[in-house]
Amino acid sequence: MSAKKSTSKEISHNPMKQRVFNTPRILRHTPLILLTAILTSCATGRIDPTDPVGENAKQIDGIMRLSGYMATAVGIFVAIAVVVVIVKFREKPDDDPDELPKQIHGNRKAELTWTVIPVLLLVFLAVVTIPAVFDLSGKSDGRTIQVEGQQWWWQFSYDVDEDGIHDIVTANEIVIPVGEEINLDIRSNDVIHSFWIPQLNGKKDAVPGRVHHWRISSPVPGIFYGECVEFCGLSHANMQMRAVVLERDDYEAWVQEQLTPATIPADTAAKRGYDLFGRHCVSCHVVNGVYESAGNGNANLTSGYAPNLTHLMTRTSFAGSIFEMYKDDGSVNIADLREWVRNAPENKPSRPDNRQGMISFAETLSDSELDDLVTYLLTLGGPPPLMPS
């Protein structure tokens, strides 16, 4: 009896035995784990790289799908081979445990087979991929838009003349006409960023001191979403962007509106907000026609730039595109806009003390002053030609 008790005690405290006894519990949770992984992989949200729209994006998608199909075929073949080996060479009851299966080390035919086949597959992928890489990096005959990444938003400058003056400057939303391939000159004003609107094209880095060429286009109007995909600091995850693709007539009307400078408002509250803007905001921001002395090249920001607000209300988003400018019913999202002006660092992680991001006015402006300032911002342009669906 004592020997049996001792054995039972040894088993109960043996960690290897405990691991074996717990295995069924792990297996019971395996389906739930797999289902969670599958559902997570499908949750792409607004940014969907599996639904290319532009020709450049479709070209990339075709290569990715081809390589995926090839990898799947190789994986299936390897899995079948593993199963065959396990079944064919499993130990049988009458086998001699000291006898080894027939060895094929040095089998030239086998080694050539599993070497040549992968090489041929890789050569085939290279033949398909390399021309696409050069094609995607080339420039079209269309217009060029300058793209600048900075912590933590994007600036787009249109129609740059010989003196480097931009007729139109937008923030976080690049607006293009439908059916036209647009050249992008991508750069950075501070650290490395990466431009990515997956439904229109792949990723392209924005590097300080360098200009990278890229192209985007869409055969259909709509709003396509993207983000920075190179870790660039504290609020990298909040550095989003949008491509707004308009019908030709809508695009021409948008251009004409963007070329119209702002004016001093006549409304009393908006005029008070205009004066407050002049005291607190012009050290960083530009409003063409009334406040143009600051902005580009100012020393108050690490990047030297802050969003041009001349036609703020023509945009569908603000604050690095993390907030919608308009509600579903078409009314302005005044609550978030006011809160952003009041205390931007509380709404989007930044380092204003290090000249990275917008400062807080929570201790500077009273509630009535905030209302007046927002009232002035509401006068900067009309509603956008296309709203998010």
pLDDT for position 178: 95
CATH superfamily of 268-377: Cupredoxins -  blue copper proteins (2.60.40.420)
CA distance 169 to 153: 13
What φ, ψ does residue 242 adopt, rounded to 5°? -140, 145
Top mean-pLDDT range of 158-162, 265-269, 302-306: 265-269
Lowest mean pLDDT across 42-56, 191-205, 279-293:
42-56
CA pair distance 83, 64, nearest whole angstrom? 28
Bridge partners of residue 343, in order along the sequence: 360
Domain ranges of the chain: 1-43, 268-377
Token code pair at residue 360: 């807080």
Tokens read off for 167: 């007729």
Whole-model pTM? 0.79
pLDDT (tens digit, 9 = 90+) per residue, 87-97?
887 878 887 77
d(CA 254, CA 314): 9
Query: Please, are residues 167 and 159 in contact by the beta-carbon 8 Å criterion?
Result: yes
Neighbours of 138 (CB within 10 A): 9
227-282 pLDDT, tens digit each: 999 999 999 999 999 999 999 999 999 999 999 999 999 989 999 999 999 999 98
Largest alpha-carbon pair distance within the chain? 102
Burial (CB count within 10 angstroms: exposed 0-12, middle 13-18, buried 19+), residue 354: exposed
User: Nearest to residue 231, comparing CAs of 151, 319, 351?
Assistant: 151
Tens digit of each residue's pLDDT (9 = 90 or more) over 174-192: 999 999 999 999 999 999 9
- Distance between CA atoms of residues 42 and 224, nearest Å: 18
